[in-house]
Structure 1
Amino acid sequence: MGVLSHLRVVEIGSSAATSYCARLFADFGADVQKVEPPQGDPLRRGPPLTASGQSAWFAFLNFNKSSIIVDANAPQASTRLTALIEDCDILIDGRDVDAADCPFFDLAAVRRIRPGLICLQGSWFGRKGPYAGFAATDSTVRALAGLIKLVGPVDGPPMHAPDFQTGILAGLWGFIAAASSAVAQRQGGGGGGWSLSIFESSLALSEYLMSEAFAYGDVMRRIGTNRFWPGSPVGIYETRRGWLGVTVVTPAQWQAFCDMLGLSELRDESALVLGKDRLKHLERIERVFTPRLKSRTAQEWFAEGRKRRIPIVPVPEISDLLQDTEKKRRGAIVPVLLGEEEGLTVGSVQQLTLTPPRRGGKVPALGERQSIQNTRRDLVGTGSASPGRIDATRQPLQGIQVIDFSMGWAGPLCTRTLADLGADVIKIEAIQYPDWFRGVDRERAYIDAQMYEKKVCFCIMNRNKRGITLDLTRPQGLALAKRLLAKADIVVDNYSVDVLPNFGLGYDVLQTLNPRLVMMSMSAFGANSLYRDCRAYGSTLEQGSGLPSVIGNAGDPPVMSHIAFGDAVGGLNGCAAVLVALIHARNTGQGQFIDIAQIECMMPFAAPWITAHSTGSTPLRRYGNRHPQFVPHGCFRCAGEDNWIMVAATNEEMWWRLALAIGRPDWAADPSLKSEEARRGIEDVLERGIEAWTLTRDPDQAMSELQAAGVAAGVARLPIDLLEDRHLESRAFLQEVERAFIGRHPQPSLPIREGPKSYPIRAAAPTLGQHNIEILSGFLGLSDAEMAQLVREEIIGTAVLPEGKLATTKKKVSSD
C-alpha cells in the first residue's frame, strides 16, 4: 500500500507529458488505469527499442500502470469510458497532444456528477494563442523555448538533444498541479480543473537566462560546444581515461582548480579572478589546462576535486550508470519487467523515507485489465465526493506554511512554486550569508550600492514569499528558527547535507519539535551517498547524469544541453516530493524526511537509453540533430545572421506536406520515399533541399509557412526573444511586477492554470529582512526591546555585512 493508494487515476490520450505525470502517481501506489486503443498507445512503438523490440521510452513512462482497451468503434465505447472516468479521482488527459482514437465523452457532464474530480488536460501550447494549433515535437518546442540555440559549435547548427525532455518537465508540472488539488481536498476543497502547456512548462529551464537577458540585454550567443555565458570554465573535458565535467564559478574554486593542476601563473593572474573575465580568455586558458587534465583519469580527478571542494564530476556512459551500485541501492536504478524481458530503468527520484516509492515494476501488456469490472467505490473520506470548491478563488495550498532555508535556483524554485499555489513561504537568510543569487561580491562598494537588491534572477525565484534574516550560528537566532519550525508544515533546504544538522536543526531534532513537519533536503548526491560532501551546481548534475553521453554526433565529446539544467529539474522534483509527503501528513499527522539527490533528478532524461541498454539492445547510437524515428529532422539555417529553424516530419502525411511546402512535388510524388527507412537512406540530400528553401526565408516566415502546411517547425529562439514572444504575450504568461530597487520587471507565470489565466503574482520578492518585524514581532510576539537587541547584535538586519565586518562578526561568535 503506497501513500497514494487511495487514489484512482485514469489516463487517456497519448502524450509523454501526461504519461509521465500518471507514472508519478503510480510510483506512490495510485491505481493508474491507462486507456488505449486496440492498436495501443502510439508511444508503444517509439524508439529506442529494447532487445526484444519493445519501446524503452514507453516502458519508462508506464510501468506499474494497468492497460484497458477502449475501442472507439465499438458499441457503447463512450459509455464505457465515461463510466471509468466517473469512478476515478484524477483524470489525466493527453488528447490535445494525440487523441489516440479516444472515444468522445462529455467531461462537463462528468464533472457535474463528480464535482470532486481532479482533471488535468495537457496540450503543446494551450488552447488559445498564436501557436495553439501548431504541429509540434519535443525538439520544435524546445527550439521555441530557447533551449537549443545556445548549444553547440559557434558556426552551427545548434546542437540539441533527441526527444524525451519536454515530457519529463511537463509531466512534473502536471503532477504538481494534480497533487496540489489532492492536498486541497484533504483540507476540505473540491476538485480542480487544470490546463497544462508543455511549451510553457519547458520555460522553467529558460527563465533564469530570460531574467539575465532582461537585466543585461542581448549579450548571449552560442560560443561553442560545452561553453556557456556568463562564466567559465563550465564544460566537459577529456582525461587520461573518461570525460570530466568541470564547473568553476567562484574565485576560490578557480584558485583551487589551478592549484590542483599546478597552474600558479593562471591562479595569480588578476584578469582571471571572475568567471565573466575568464570567459574572455577561455581559448588561452583551455590551451593551458586541458593537457594537464589528460595526466589522470576522470575518477582520479574526481577524488582530488572532492578534497579541494571543486565542483567536478566524471561524465558517465550509460553502461556506467547500469553498474552503479549506489544508484541501485538508492532506487535511482530499478528493475522493470517488459513481458518476458527483464531490464532496468530509472526509478522514482522522490525519495520519501517514511512512505517510499515503489522500487521498479511491470510494464502493462496491452489490454491486460479488460476483465476487471468497474465498481463504484466507497468515497467517504477520500475527498472525491466533495460538492465542489469551498471558495473558487482559494488557491490549493492556502493555509500551508513553509520555512525556506534554500538558496540559488533549485530550492527557491521549489518553494516559489509552493508559494505560487498559495502556501505562506517564509524565506530565512542571514545578513552574514544572504542567498547567493543576490550576488557573491562582498566588496564595500557592492554592499554600499545595495547591489544585492538588484538581481532580477533573485526576484524571479523568490516572489510571493516573505523574507526574514536570522543568524543561525547564534543561540538567539537558532531559538527563533525553532519557534517558526514548530508551527510549520514544511521545511526545505538545499545546503550541503550537514549544514542544518550542524546548526542543531537536523530532522531528528525537528521531528520532536513538530511531529507533522515535512523536511526536505535537496543535496547534490543525497544524504546517504558516498559523495554526500561533493560540491555541485546545476551543470554538475547534468554532467553526471548520463545525458551528455547520448547527445551530439558519433565520435564527438559528450555534449551538455544547458548551463544549469539540473537546478530547475531538482526544484520541480522537490516540489512534487513535498506534495506527496504533505498528503500523507494530512491523512495521518505524520511528517517525514525527504532525501532528494538532485543528480538523480536528471536521470529520467536519459531513461530511454538506460532501459534499452539494460536489455542488451543494439549499441547506442548518437544521432546528432537527426532522430531515430522522424526523417527528416534537424535544425536548418535561415536568412540572416545565425538564424535557425527546427523542422521535423513525424509521419508519412507530414513528409508529403513538407515536400510540397518547400517546392519539391517530385519528392511528394515519389512512392519510394514514403517510408522513414527509405528517406533515411538519402537524409543528406533531403536536408540540403530543406535548407535551400529555409535559407531564402526569415525564420518566423519559414515557421509560418510550414505550420500553415501542417508541418512541425519551431524557430530556434534566444532567451531574450522570449521576452517579446507573441504567443506568451497573448496568454499573459509574463506578468509585470513592481519591486523596490529594480522597478517593473517581467516574471513568468505558472505553466499550469485552473482557469483561463494563471494565478496573479501576489507579491514581489522580499528585500533582505523585509518582514522581520511582521514575522518576529507580529507572529512570534517579540517586543520592541527584543527586536532592537537582535538588531544591535546583528542577529537580524536589513543590510548585508561587508567582508571586513563579517570577519569581525566571526571573531565575536567564536568568543561567545
Structure 2
Amino acid sequence: MTSTPGTPLRVVEISSGIAGAYCGWLLQQMGAEVVRIGVPSTVADGADPIALALAYYAAEKPTTSPGDLAGAIAIADIVITDDAGRFAALIGRTLAEVAASQPDTVFGVTSVFGLTGPLAGVPAAAIDAQAEAGVAWALGEPGRPPLSIPPGVLECQAGAHLAAACLMARLAGPAPASGRIVDIALNDVLAHYVGVNCRFYIHHGMRWQRAGRRASDSGGAYPFVILPCADGAVCLSGRTRPEWQRFVEAMGSPAWSQEPRYQKLRAMGQQYPAEVDALITPWLLDHTKAEIEAIADRFQLTIAPLRDLPDVLATPQLAERGFLRPWMVNGRQLRGPGLPFRIAETRGIAQASNSANGLLAHAGGQRAAGALPLAGLRVLDLGWVWSAPQVGSILAQLGAEVIKVEHRARPDNSRLSGVIIRDGQRVEGQNADMSPMFHQINKGKLGITLNLKDPAGVELAKRLANTSDIVLENMSAGSVERSGIGYDVLRAANPRLVMVAMSGAGQFGPMADMRTYAPTMSSYVGLESLVGYAGELPTGALNFAIGDPNAAAHALVAVFAALARRETTGQGCYIDLSQTEALFATLTPYILQVQIEGQQPPTTGNAHPGMAPHGIYPAVGADCWLSIAIRDDDDWKALAGVAGNQPWMRDAVWAGTGDRIAKREALDSMLAAWTATCDRDTLVADLRAAGVPASPVNDIEGLWNDPQIAARGLSEMIDIPGLGSEMLFTAPWNISGLTIATGTRGPVVGEDNVRVLRGILGLSETEFDRLTAEGVIG
C-alpha cells in the first residue's frame, strides 16, 4: 500500500555513498517522508569531507533498523538505493524480486555502471565512471596524468537524475507485472555529458583533450582560459566579437588591440592563444579579483574570479535568496546548501515566497500515459544553448511534445559553432541545420521560428503557452517578462502551467543580472579552484562544462515534483532555479570541510579522502591511462595478488588503509612505475577479475566504441539532414516498463512551423503566409 494523493510521498533510502544520500536528501527537502535504513549518522571531529556530506544529508532523516526494512518498504512510494548488494543482503531477496512483489512502488537504484551490460556487477568506484566516460581524458595538463573532478561532486549527478527519474516513473502510470525499477548509472550520465561537451570541439576540426588552464583550442575562439591576477586567478570566457571588443575597451583599448592580428578570435584561440595571454596578463596582474569582477559587471563581460569557498559562502546573493541553511554538528554551527530552486504561485512575489519544501507534501496521482511515459504533455521550450534545452530534450525523449522556439535572425547559439569538419574535410551546407551539438541537445523536439520582439509573435507564443503544461527558459533574469510572456501573464490564462526559469544566479537578488557561461559559473562557485594536481595551483576543468547539465538535472527534479503536486492540487507553479546554486550544492563535502578547517581545501589531484591508492596511472603506450581505486584492505590484497612480483606491495607498511592514505604520494609513485610497464586493457581485465575497481581512461573514440554504452542503449546512429549519419546519445535513464523515444534528432530551423502554427494553433493558410511575409514567422 502506498500513499494516497494529498499525503506526503513516502521514501525508503538504503544508501552507502553520496549518490543515494543526495537523492534522498533532495526528496526529503521537497517534503517527502524519507526514512533511512541503518544506524544514525555521526561524524567525528576532523572527519573527511565525504563523511561530513553524508552526515549532512542524513541529519533530518529519521532512521529505522534493518529489522523494520520489510515493513517500511511495504508502505513506500519510492525505494532508493546506491548499493543493490546491500539491499539484497538486508531483505533476503534481490531488487527485482522485491519490485515484482510490489508493483505500486518505484524502486530506484544508482551505481557506477548500471544493472545491465558487460560491466554490470564489475567492482567500481566513482572515478571509474570519470575514466570510462571520458571525463578525465580532457582534464589536466598535456603529458601529465589526467585529472578527475573531486570526489562527491559528480556522484551528485547520479543522485539528482535518480530523484528525477523516480518521480517521473511514479507519475507515469501503472507498472508492468515485473514491477518498476529505475536504473541510473553514473557512467551513462557522464557519457551523456561528454557527448555534448566534446561536440563543441571535434565536429569543428578541434581537439578535445587536456590543455591545462585553457579549454582545448580555446573552444574555438579567444578567450577561454584561466589567467593570474593580482591576488589569484580569473576565468575569461568570451565567444563573440562584441564581447572581445568590450573586454578591449575595459583594458583601456591598448594599441596592440587595434592590430588585425588581435581581432581574429578564432585565430587567437586556436593558433596563438599564449601570445594573447602574454599581452593581457599585465593588465590582469594590476587588478584584484574583486576589481575585475566589478569591471566585468560594468562592461557586461563573462569573466569570473576563481573564488575560494569561504568567499562563495559570503556571497550576498546566497544570503538574499536564503540558500544556505544552519547545521549543528559536534557543537559547531555550520552552513550547508538548501534546494537550488524556489517555488512560487506568482513570479511577482517569488522573492518573498518559497514553497519548494512542500512540493512532495502531496504525493500526487498518476497520469494516463500513452506508449511513452510523458505522452500528452506539451512543453514550450524558450531555452538557449544547453541547460534549459537539455531539460526539454529529455522530456521530449520521454514522450512530451516539445516545441522549440527560435528566430532565423537569432537561432540557438549551439547551431553556430562553426564549419562542420568530417574526416578532416569541410562539409558544405547549412551549418546551422547540421550542427551535431544542436541535434544532441535538442533531440526529439519540434522546431518553430517566431520573432518574439514583434507583438504578433508574442501573441502566438502566448497562445501556445495557453495549451502547454510546461514552459522552459534560461534567459537572463526578467528577459521573458520584458518580452510580454512572463509567468504571471501566462498563468492568468493557464493556471495549471509549470514554468521553469533557469537564470545564472536566480531571478531576484543583488546578482540576478549575472552573465554566465559554464566555466565562469563553476569558477564563481569555487569548483575550478578545487581541480588541480596535488599542492599546485588549480588547473580547473574548462573542457568539461558541468554547470549546464547539472542545472538541467536539478530542474528535472523540480519539474516532476511540481507535476506530481499538480495532479493533486490542479495548480501549476513558477520554478526559479539558480544555476550557480545548483552547482554549489554539489560541492557540499568541501563547503562543510572549509568551515571545519577554517581554510580553503588544497588541490589534491586524484586523491580520495578515504581510499588509497586512488588515481589515474600510466600504462604502456602514448597517452594511455587507467584508473585504480582501492576501497579497503581486501582490495589492497587483491591488487597485490595481481602484481605479485612487486616486492614493495608485500611490505606491511601498506597493510592498513590509514597507512596507505598517510603515505599516498609515495605509494602512487611506486604504483605508477609498475602500471607503466603493463598493457592497459590486460591490466584492467586482470584487476576487475580480482575484484579491484579499474577502468581505461577513454578518449572520444574509446567512448564512441565503448561496449557498455552500446549495451545500455545509450547511443544510436541518426541521420542529420545535410550531414549524414551521426552518433547521438539518448536520455541516460533506464526504466523497466517505460520506453524512451529513439531515432530522433533536433529540428532544422523552422522545420515544424506549419505543423505547429497551422495544425496546433489553427492559423489559416492566408494568415500563416501573411505573418511569414511580415517576418513574424521566420
For 1:377, the equivalent position in structure 2 comes to none
CA distance in 2, matches of 1:715, 1:19: 28
Match of 2:560 among 576, 579, 583: 579
SS at match of 1:635: strand
Deviation, 1:186, is 11
TM-score calculated relative to the size of structure 2:
0.90
The residue type paired with residue 157 of structure 2 is L
The residue type paired with residue 118 of structure 1 is V
Quickly say closer, same or farther: Cα 1:683–1:658, change in 2 above 3 A: same
Match of 1:67 among 60, 63, 70: 63
Say if 2:243 is the partner of 1:261. no
For 1:378, the equivalent position in structure 2 comes to none
The residue type paired with residue 159 of structure 2 is G
Are 1:5 and 1:29, in contact at CA under 8 Å, matched by a contact in 2? Answer: no
Deviation, 1:324, is 2.3
Which deviations, in whole Å up to 9, do the C-alpha atoms of 1:768-788 show, x marking residues without a partner?
111111111111111111111
CA distance in 1, matches of 2:683, 2:6: 47
The residue type paired with residue 247 of structure 2 is F
Which deviations, in whole Å up to 9, do the C-alpha atoms of 1:504-544 show, x marking residues without a partner?
11222122122221111111111113122222111111111
SS at match of 1:326: helix
For 2:644, the equivalent position in structure 1 comes to 663
CA distance in 1, matches of 2:712, 2:739: 9
CA distance in 1, matches of 2:447, 2:461: 13
CA distance in 1, matches of 2:570, 2:197: 41
Quickly say closer, same or farther: Cα 1:219–1:669, change in 2 above 3 A: closer
Are 1:4 and 1:30, in contact at CA under 8 Å, matched by a contact in 2? Answer: no
SS at match of 2:137: coil
Are 2:344 and 2:574, in contact at CA under 8 Å, matched by a contact in 1? Answer: yes
CA distance in 2, matches of 1:352, 1:478: 25
Match of 1:28 among 30, 39, 44: 30
Which deviations, in whole Å up to 9, do the C-alpha atoms of 1:621-676 show, x marking residues without a partner?
43222222211122211111111112121111111111221234644543332212
Say if 2:118 is the partner of 1:130. yes
Match of 1:493 among 467, 473, 495: 473
Say if 2:662 is the partner of 1:672. no
CA distance in 1, matches of 2:149, 2:417: 32
For 2:238, the equivalent position in structure 1 comes to 248
The residue type paired with residue 7 of structure 1 is L
Which deviations, in whole Å up to 9, do the C-alpha atoms of 1:417-450 show, x marking residues without a partner?
11122211111111121111110679xxx99942
For 2:634, the equivalent position in structure 1 comes to 653
Deviation, 1:100, is 9.5
Deviation, 1:685, is 3.5
User: Residues 677-696 of structure 1 correspond to what in structure 2 (within 5 A)?
Assistant: 677-696=658-677
Quickly say closer, same or farther: Cα 1:289–1:514, change in 2 above 3 A: same
For 2:350, the equivalent position in structure 1 comes to none
Deviation, 1:55, is 2.4
After alignment, is 54-63 or 409-418 more displaced?
54-63
For 2:521, the equivalent position in structure 1 comes to 541
Say if 2:231 is the partner of 1:235. no
SS at match of 1:646: strand
For 2:384, the equivalent position in structure 1 comes to 407
Which deviations, in whole Å up to 9, do the C-alpha atoms of 1:486-514 show, x marking residues without a partner?
11111111111232111111222122122
Say if 2:135 is the partner of 1:144. no
CA distance in 1, matches of 2:112, 2:135: 16
User: Residues 278-357 of structure 1 correspond to what in structure 2 (within 5 A)?
Assistant: 278-338=269-329, 340-354=331-345, 356=354
For 1:49, the equivalent position in structure 2 comes to 47
Quickly say closer, same or farther: Cα 1:414–1:113, change in 2 above 3 A: same
Are 1:218 and 1:720, in contact at CA under 8 Å, matched by a contact in 2? Answer: no
SS at match of 1:220: coil
Which deviations, in whole Å up to 9, do the C-alpha atoms of 1:560-593 show, x marking residues without a partner?
2243221111121122222222222222122221
Deviation, 1:548, is 2.2
- How many pairs were matched up? 755
Deviation, 1:108, is 5.4
Task: Tell me the C-alpha RMSD between the 2 structures.
Answer: 3.1
Say if 2:407 is the partner of 1:430. yes
CA distance in 2, matches of 1:472, 1:637: 54
After alignment, is 218-227 or 579-588 more displaced?
218-227
Structure 1 gaps of 5+ residues are 71-76, 361-380, 798-816
Match of 1:745 among 719, 726, 747: 726
Quickly say closer, same or farther: Cα 1:636–1:757, change in 2 above 3 A: farther
For 2:19, the equivalent position in structure 1 comes to 17
CA distance in 2, matches of 1:320, 1:763: 44
Which deviations, in whole Å up to 9, do the C-alpha atoms of 1:56-101 show, x marking residues without a partner?
120343343111121xxxxxx4xx3222101111111222375595
Are 1:466 and 1:771, in contact at CA under 8 Å, matched by a contact in 2? Answer: yes
The residue type paired with residue 240 of structure 1 is A
Deviation, 1:304, is 1.1
For 1:814, the equivalent position in structure 2 comes to none
CA distance in 2, matches of 1:589, 1:186: 21
Quickly say closer, same or farther: Cα 1:503–1:47, change in 2 above 3 A: farther
User: Residues 456-471 of structure 1 correspond to what in structure 2 (within 5 A)?
Assistant: 456-471=436-451
Match of 2:614 among 617, 630, 633: 633
The residue type paired with residue 474 of structure 1 is D
For 2:395, the equivalent position in structure 1 comes to 418
Quickly say closer, same or farther: Cα 1:401–1:267, change in 2 above 3 A: farther
After alignment, is 135-144 or 770-779 more displaced?
135-144
For 1:394, the equivalent position in structure 2 comes to 371
CA distance in 1, matches of 2:88, 2:760: 53
For 1:375, the equivalent position in structure 2 comes to none
Are 2:70 and 2:91, in contact at CA under 8 Å, matched by a contact in 1? Answer: no
For 2:422, the equivalent position in structure 1 comes to none
Deviation, 1:765, is 1.2
Quickly say closer, same or farther: Cα 1:605–1:451, change in 2 above 3 A: same
Quickly say closer, same or farther: Cα 1:555–1:266, change in 2 above 3 A: farther
Say if 2:115 is the partner of 1:117. no
Which deviations, in whole Å up to 9, do the C-alpha atoms of 1:448-500 show, x marking residues without a partner?
94221110000011111111111111121111111111111111111112321
Structure 2 gaps of 5+ residues are 346-352, 420-425
SS at match of 1:426: strand
Quickly say closer, same or farther: Cα 1:16–1:99, change in 2 above 3 A: farther
CA distance in 1, matches of 2:88, 2:589: 22
For 1:86, the equivalent position in structure 2 comes to 74
CA distance in 2, matches of 1:10, 1:760: 30
Are 1:335 and 1:359, in contact at CA under 8 Å, matched by a contact in 2? Answer: no
Quickly say closer, same or farther: Cα 1:97–1:303, change in 2 above 3 A: farther
Are 1:733 and 1:758, in contact at CA under 8 Å, matched by a contact in 2? Answer: no
CA distance in 2, matches of 1:338, 1:127: 36
Are 2:20 and 2:110, in contact at CA under 8 Å, matched by a contact in 1? Answer: yes
CA distance in 1, matches of 2:198, 2:597: 42
Say if 2:586 is the partner of 1:588. no
CA distance in 2, matches of 1:46, 1:398: 49
For 1:162, the equivalent position in structure 2 comes to 150
The residue type paired with residue 165 of structure 2 is A
Quickly say closer, same or farther: Cα 1:555–1:529, change in 2 above 3 A: farther
CA distance in 1, matches of 2:698, 2:258: 37
For 1:73, the equivalent position in structure 2 comes to none
CA distance in 1, matches of 2:176, 2:376: 12
Quickly say closer, same or farther: Cα 1:225–1:459, change in 2 above 3 A: same
